[in-house]
Amino acid sequence: MENSALIIVDVQNDFCEGGSLPVQKSSEIIPKINKVRKYFKHVIFTKDWHPENHVSFKINHPNLHELKKEVVENLWPVHCVQNTYGAELHKDIQIEESDIIVLKGTNSKYDSYSGFGCKEDQTNLNEILQSLNVDTIYVGGLALDYCVLFTVIDAIKLGYKVKILKDCTQAIEPENAKSKINQYFAEIRRQDNTILENSLQIFTSYEVEE
d(CA 128, CA 69): 36
Provide the H-helix boundaries in the chain.
Answer: 30-36, 69-72, 125-131, 149-157, 174-191, 195-199, 205-209
Please give the Cα distance from 19 to 123 (Å, whole number).
25
What's the full length of the chain, in residues? 210
Instruction: Write out the H or E segment, with its range, that includes residue 139.
Output: strand 136-142
**SS3 (DSSP) at 84:** coil
Residues known to be catalytic: 10, 104, 147
Q: What angle do CA 152, 144, 41 make, to 5 degrees?
A: 55
End-to-end CA distance of the chain: 12
Q: Is 47 helix (H, G, I), strand (E, B) or coil?
A: strand
Report the C-alpha gap between 86 and 53 in whole angstroms.
16
Largest Cα–Cα separation, the chain = 53
